[in-house]
Amino acid sequence: MSTNVSRYDPSVSEHGWQAAWEAADCFKAEGPDCGKPKYYVLEMFPYPSGRIHMGHVRNYAMGDVVARFKKAQGYNVLHPMGWDAFGMPAENAAIEKGVHPATWTYENIDAMRAQLKSLGLSFDWSREFATCDPSYYRHEQAMFLDFLDAGLVDRRESIVNWDPVDHTVLANEQVIDGKGWRSGAPVEQRALTQWFLKISDVADDLLSALDDLTRWPEKVRLMQANWIGRSEGLACSFELEAPAGGATHIDIYTTRPDTLYGASFCALSPDHPLTIALAADDTKLAEFRALCAARGTSESEIEGGEKLGYDTGLRVRHPLEPDWLLPVYVANFVLMGYGTGAIFACPAHDQRDLDFARKYDLPVYPVVRPADDDATFSVTNTAYTGDGVMFNSRDLDGLAPDTARAQIIDRFETENRGARQVNFRLRDWGISRQRYWGCPIPMVHCDTCGAVPVPRADLPITLPEDVSFDEPGNPLDRHPTWKHAPCPKCGADATRETDTFDTFVDSSWYYARFTGLDDARPTERAAADYWMSVDQYIGGIEHAILHLLYARFYARAMNRTGHLGTDEPFAGLFTQGMVCHETYRDNDGNWLLPEQVDRREAGAFLRTDPTHAVEIGGVEKMSKSKKNVVDPDDIIATYGADTARWFMLSDSPPERDVQWTQDGVDGAWRFVQRVWRLIDTHAEALRDVPTSAGAPADLSQEGRALYESVHRSIDSVTQDLDALGFNRAVARIYNLANALSSFEPTGKPSDHQVLKAGLEALVQLFAPMMPHLAETCWQALGGAGLVAQTAWPKADAAALEVDTVIMPVQINGKRRAEITVSKSADQATIEQQARAEPQVEKFLDGKPIRKCIVVPGRIVNFVV
């Protein structure tokens, strides 16, 4: 080995290669007529918070590997990047620092773009946009009008989740444990008039189409299916004994019509119209309603949800037994937003009803008993929800519950007193937000004409720039002039809608916009038809429901309004795990940054004070609040982008969490240097060695072995990358590097040829992961052009076919020996050879062989 090996310095080479790729326009997507198959790879675009974090590095490193790999395989690759740029943090910055949200946002974008570029990611930057660009959101406004025309938009008053800290409305999906997903504040219930997108109209399709998303993680499909929550049941009425509150009957929905004979009471939601009507003349009921509203979705849920009720004194007739009267309660556990907001209760077979019945001393009649139980079956404090046999149910006795269910529904339908109904948990998507930094909703409110769409010619409705954030609430609402506009219909003085879109609207169609940046339209249909759907979408599991469900709805809405030709935005989805790090605290319980800690065998100490012990906490997701963060800029400055990328792809399977460790980075860094030494050691001697397709003639035994090893590596890395098995690909590449390092050329020309070809293959195989190092190595080996523009190596099928194979020999399932046999040997030959093996003979010990299993190429097993 040369005594004068150089070190690879990424700080010198990386910028140069980034410039070279840009100069060669390497990553610009080609047009539909380029003759190549298309491949659209997309990573979830970031919110421009100001700095990228390690989670971004992992996410974009994975996407970049896919993009570069597919490009090398001959695909026309679209790999764009943009910014999810509207949202609350910009307003918070305005409040805290007095900087305008737009200024703050665009400065952050500039900073983060520079960071992403320093990672050497193969983005087609010519398609970059931010969702806060008027050139983007004008089309969002136009599409909203299209959706309005297509009947996909609704405006109605509803009880909404109000976030008292952010002063805005939240969708159900955005309320987590009764708290706002961003602010963490307990959510209140308020009545507000809101714009809705009618996502529930396509609930059935969103559910059934999940079956075809075979390249989505099963977990995400399941989560969406649960969220959509389809159920089938009976809608019917219970007649009031006497009309009350303007009603003659109560409409209910039930999935358990089979348990009708076990009915005990009916219950109304506190927000049910009849409840509200009754409360007008009943102060106690009004007080009860206020109590329920105050408890809202917040505290009561966290504390376990105690059942509360109020007896209205009303009675309803049982629909199957007109003489049977049931009491009507108002109950806090009945939701107005689902079904009809009223239920009949069968406490024996529903835990909530049972809890309620026990509390208010209402009867419990079991009507389903386990098949192996008898008619004395009773229920105490646990409702029986299992399958079994109907009893105490007149004509239904003896039937299975699902038969009874069908029979009852049929009966109601024939008698015209009810109907089979499908309900969904999924509600319409409320998109109004009382914020400034969002896309204005292009509507005008006129006293005479109502809500009137802004004429398309007047779009975009842009945000005013002179706004203040010195008081809570929406600056658009209190702006002196912005909201005043004539009614587009009658010309009278009117006011603009001051709400802006939920930012999830912005991210619901950006993938489509990337396919073609038409000035006049949201999409270029031809380009969109060519590129869509996204072949591989990569992002965090935290978007399994919110973003991914909205985007699926939006694609359908865009399809219906002619902007897209497909319903599904993402044909393939991959959800990567989080980046975690150890946590550290000092004696006073303060969190410490990793660089403040000196980590030693015996324990950890404060770097600045070796006597100050540090407690090492759990490994958790990197977060600013726990200070267990590592800044990508620091890592890139010290080790280069390739080391950071390589480490992010090594070891842990991509769908799982990965732990960032200094040892791991050091390991990646060592490999970078090792590869460079390997190339540098041989580069000069090999520069003029010709490489040929196929195996060089006259190979030595070692040369032959290396050749086979190289081609096995090509084959398996290709398979691993196809399956997004980055950690497996990394392991294969280590193997290949080891094989190349230990190869000693004898001086035979064929040895040099096979070594050079092997080194070139190595460089090409790791190029998608460490693209800068790959270019430097490629150049040193005298390779033509850029690796980034080189075709993916092909495995020589002949080299993968080995002629002899080592087979283990088992006796009674225990491995006792191995034999080397010809690949083509038949079973009898293999058995004979195995039998002749001394070890085997020893263990067989003359015992009679009961059976001999021979799986050619795999195993021999003697049963004695």
* Residues of this chain, 292-331, that bind RNA according to CB under 7 A: 297, 300-301, 305-307
Exposure on the CB side of residue 235, measured as CA atoms within 13 A: 12
Contact 646, 672 (CB under 8 A): yes
Task: Provide the minimum distance between the beta carbon of 213 and RNA in the complex, in angstroms, as a whole number.
Answer: 16
Q: Could you tell me the two tokens for 122? A: 């193969």
Q: Does 183 bind RNA (CB under 7 A)?
A: no
Q: Does 670 bind RNA (CB under 7 A)?
A: yes
| Region near RNA per CB under 7 A, out of 399-407, 482-490, 737-745, 788-796 | 737-745
> By C-beta, is 141 or 716 nearer to RNA?
716
State how far the Cα of 587 lies from the Cα of 602, in Å rounded to an integer: 17
Task: Provide the minimum distance between the beta carbon of 48 and RNA in the complex, in angstroms, as a whole number.
Answer: 25
Chosen residue from 653, 782, 837, 856 binding RNA by CB under 7 A? 653
Q: Does 425 bind RNA (CB under 7 A)?
A: yes
Task: Provide the minimum distance between the beta carbon of 803 and RNA in the complex, in angstroms, as a whole number.
Answer: 15
Length of the chain as a residue count: 864
Q: Does 421 bind RNA (CB under 7 A)?
A: no
- The single-letter DSSP state of residue 546 is H
The string over 789-808, giving b where at least 16 C-beta atoms fall within 10 Å of a residue's C-beta and e elsewhere, is: ebebbebbeebeeeeebebe
| Region near RNA per CB under 7 A, out of 441-449, 487-495, 648-656, 786-794 | 648-656
Q: Give the number of residues in contact with RNA, rule: CB under 7 A.
A: 85
| Region near RNA per CB under 7 A, out of 62-70, 205-213, 727-735, 793-801 | 727-735
Q: Does 661 bind RNA (CB under 7 A)?
A: yes
Return the bridge partners of 163, or none: 168
Task: Provide the minimum distance between the beta carbon of 575 and RNA in the complex, in angstroms, as a whole number.
Answer: 10
Q: Does 664 bind RNA (CB under 7 A)?
A: yes
| Region near RNA per CB under 7 A, out of 28-36, 314-322, 337-345, 405-413 | 337-345
| Region near RNA per CB under 7 A, out of 584-592, 657-665, 679-687, 706-714 | 657-665
Within 204-263, the residues that bind RNA by CB under 7 A are 218-219, 222-223, 226-227, 229, 231, 233, 253-256
Q: What are phi and psi of 693, to 5 degrees?
A: -70, 145
State how far the Cα of 795 lies from the Cα of 801, in Å rounded to an integer: 11
Q: Does 415 bind RNA (CB under 7 A)?
A: no
Contact 726, 769 (CB under 8 A): yes
Q: Give 467-532 as a DSSP string.
A: ---SSSS-HHHH-SSTTEEE-TTT--EEEE---EE-HHHHTTSHHHHTT---SSSSS-HHHHHHHP
Distances (CA, A) of 820 to 651, 803, 805: 33, 10, 6
> By C-beta, is 49 or 300 nearer to RNA?
300
Task: Provide the minimum distance between the beta carbon of 548 and RNA in the complex, in angstroms, as a whole number.
Answer: 12
Chosen residue from 107, 133, 631, 818 binding RNA by CB under 7 A? 818
> By C-beta, is 134 or 808 nearer to RNA?
808
> By C-beta, is 49 or 421 nearer to RNA?
421
> By C-beta, is 634 or 841 nearer to RNA?
841
Q: Map residue 863 onto helix, strand or coil.
A: strand
Q: Does 666 bind RNA (CB under 7 A)?
A: yes
Chosen residue from 317, 731, 782, 835 binding RNA by CB under 7 A? 731
| Region near RNA per CB under 7 A, out of 29-37, 335-343, 399-407, 772-780 | 335-343
Task: Provide the minimum distance between the beta carbon of 403 and RNA in the complex, in angstroms, as a whole number.
Answer: 17
Task: Provide the minimum distance between the beta carbon of 281 and RNA in the complex, in angstroms, as a whole number.
Answer: 24
Helix (H) or strand (E) holding 549: helix 546-560
Exposure on the CB side of residue 99, measured as CA atoms within 13 A: 13
Helix (H) or strand (E) holding 599: strand 597-599
> By C-beta, is 97 or 851 nearer to RNA?
851
> By C-beta, is 8 or 537 nearer to RNA?
8
Q: Could you tell me the two tokens for 702? A: 């070692």
Chosen residue from 312, 500, 753, 810 binding RNA by CB under 7 A? 810
Q: Does 337 bind RNA (CB under 7 A)?
A: yes
Within 569-608, the residues that bind RNA by CB under 7 A are 601
Helix (H) or strand (E) holding 291: helix 283-295
State how far the Cα of 198 lies from the Cα of 773, in Å rounded to an integer: 51
| Region near RNA per CB under 7 A, out of 91-99, 607-615, 684-692, 854-862 | 854-862
Q: Does 95 bind RNA (CB under 7 A)?
A: no
Q: Does 812 bind RNA (CB under 7 A)?
A: yes
- The single-letter DSSP state of residue 847 is P
**Non-local CB neighbours of 319 within 8 Å, separated by 6+ positions:** 236, 237, 238, 239, 260, 412, 417, 418
Within 347-376, the residues that bind RNA by CB under 7 A are 350, 352
Contact 230, 204 (CB under 8 A): yes
Task: Provide the minimum distance between the beta carbon of 317 and RNA in the complex, in angstroms, as a whole number.
Answer: 19
CA-CA-CA-CA torsion sign (511, 514, 518, 524): negative
Amino acid at 112: M
| Region near RNA per CB under 7 A, out of 41-49, 457-465, 689-697, 808-816 | 808-816
Task: Provide the minimum distance between the beta carbon of 751 and RNA in the complex, in angstroms, as a whole number.
Answer: 18
Q: What are phi and psi of 807, to 5 degrees?
A: -115, 135
Task: Provide the minimum distance between the beta carbon of 422 and RNA in the complex, in angstroms, as a whole number.
Answer: 10
CB-based contacts of 208-214 (< 8 A; 24+ apart in sequence):
209/552, 209/567, 209/568, 212/568, 213/568, 213/570, 213/571, 213/573
State how far the Cα of 167 lies from the Cα of 183, in Å rounded to an integer: 10
Chosen residue from 183, 700, 727, 829 binding RNA by CB under 7 A? 727
| Region near RNA per CB under 7 A, out of 361-369, 450-458, 672-680, 829-837 | 672-680
For residue 672, the Cα-to-chain-centroid distance in whole angstroms is 32
Q: Does 99 bind RNA (CB under 7 A)?
A: no
Within 678-707, the residues that bind RNA by CB under 7 A are none
Chosen residue from 407, 735, 829, 837 binding RNA by CB under 7 A? 735
Q: Does 730 bind RNA (CB under 7 A)?
A: yes
Task: Provide the minimum distance between the beta carbon of 426 and RNA in the complex, in angstroms, as a whole number.
Answer: 8
Task: Provide the minimum distance between the beta carbon of 224 and RNA in the complex, in angstroms, as a whole number.
Answer: 9
Within 519-538, the residues that bind RNA by CB under 7 A are none
Q: Could you tell me the two tokens for 310? A: 């109020």
| Region near RNA per CB under 7 A, out of 145-153, 532-540, 705-713, 852-860 | 852-860
State how far the Cα of 755 lies from the Cα of 529, in Å rounded to an integer: 46
Chosen residue from 334, 444, 788, 819 binding RNA by CB under 7 A? 334
Chosen residue from 131, 168, 200, 269 binding RNA by CB under 7 A? 269
For residue 756, the Cα-to-chain-centroid distance in whole angstroms is 42
Chosen residue from 663, 744, 803, 845 binding RNA by CB under 7 A? 663
- Strand 389-390 and strand 368-369: the pairing is antiparallel
Amino acid at 83: W
Contact 645, 57 (CB under 8 A): yes
| Region near RNA per CB under 7 A, out of 107-115, 120-128, 334-342, 387-395 | 334-342
Q: Map residue 212 onto helix, strand or coil.
A: helix
> By C-beta, is 494 or 549 nearer to RNA?
549
Chosen residue from 92, 407, 495, 839 binding RNA by CB under 7 A? 839
Q: Map residue 5 onto helix, strand or coil.
A: coil
- Strand 579-585 and strand 609-621: the pairing is antiparallel
Place of tokens 């005990």: 264
Calculate helix-pair angle for 218-228, 546-560, nearest 10 degrees: 70
Q: Does 813 bind RNA (CB under 7 A)?
A: yes
